[in-house]
Homo-oligomer: A and B are copies of this chain.
Amino acid sequence: MKNYNKINVEQQNRVELHEQLGLTGAEISINILPQGTNVPFVHSHKKNEEIYAIIEGEGSVVIDDEKICLKAGDWLRISPAAKRQFFAKVNTPLKYICIQVKEKSLEEYTMTDAIVY
């Protein structure tokens, strides 16, 4: 495999990057929930930690029956077993990035994993 891959992501309701970028340590999706809509199911994960970044708009997420309000600049880590469902506000779309990684898979990072030249 080439030492890098690059793509440009156009605005769409959902874009999944794993295959397009040849990712091996994460899946990343870029999502837009139109105003007044929600992800149509509740879900949890078997092994994967999810990290959400709110990019634009406002909404909420229900995690194990607790409602958490969301706005641009918010970042969330959600444990695999937690049940989650995302909602856009009635008058505002919610744009967010979702990053899936295997829980406890990171060993070293930044200065302890880097080689600086």
Instruction: Name A's B-contacting residues (CB within 8 A).
Output: 1, 3-10, 16-18, 21-29, 41-49, 51, 53, 63-64, 68, 71, 73-79, 81-83, 97, 99-110, 113-117
B residues in contact with A82, CB < 8 Å? 3-4
Please tell me how many copies of the chain the complex holds: 2
Does B25 lie within 8 Å of A113, measured CB to CB?
A: no
| A115/B26 contact (C-beta < 8 A), A16-B110, A74-B8 known | no
Does A75 lie within 8 Å of B21, measured CB to CB?
A: yes
Q: How far is the CA of A116 from the CA of B102 in the complex (A)?
A: 18
Does B109 lie within 8 Å of A75, measured CB to CB?
A: no
In-complex Cβ contact of A105 among B5, B17, B105 (8 A)? B105
